[in-house]
Amino acid sequence: MLTENPKLLAHEVADGLIFFTPHHLKKFSTADLQVVTNHLQHLLVEVRGEFCAPEDFRCTQHKHQKMQRIQSALRMIQSFRMQHH
């Protein structure tokens, strides 16, 4: 059972506060992992849609870092699910 708010968890991943590892993912059920994946995918779409002015390097860099963290978490979950099913 997912004890954490999956939307908050997705935002914490995007902000770099949480990094998924196989050890961390063991506490989630298959259904929980799907819920977290859905929230991460939804957040990825939101972040991609954020507007940054072309001359605002810091905003663009922050946006790309968030996208990279989300994509990394999605890859980790996918890899974990493939190894444990």
Which pLDDT tens digits describe the chain residue by residue (85 residues)? 566 789 999 999 999 999 999 998 998 999 999 999 999 999 999 999 999 999 999 999 999 999 999 999 999 999 999 998 6
The residues spanned by each domain of the chain are: 6-83
Q: How far is CA 26 from CA 32, 46, 80, in A?
A: 11, 27, 9
Q: State the pTM of this model.
A: 0.91
For 12-79, give the DSSP string: HHHTTS----HHHHTTS-HHHHHHHHHHHHHHHHHHHH----TT-HHHHHHHHHHHHHHHHHHHHHHH
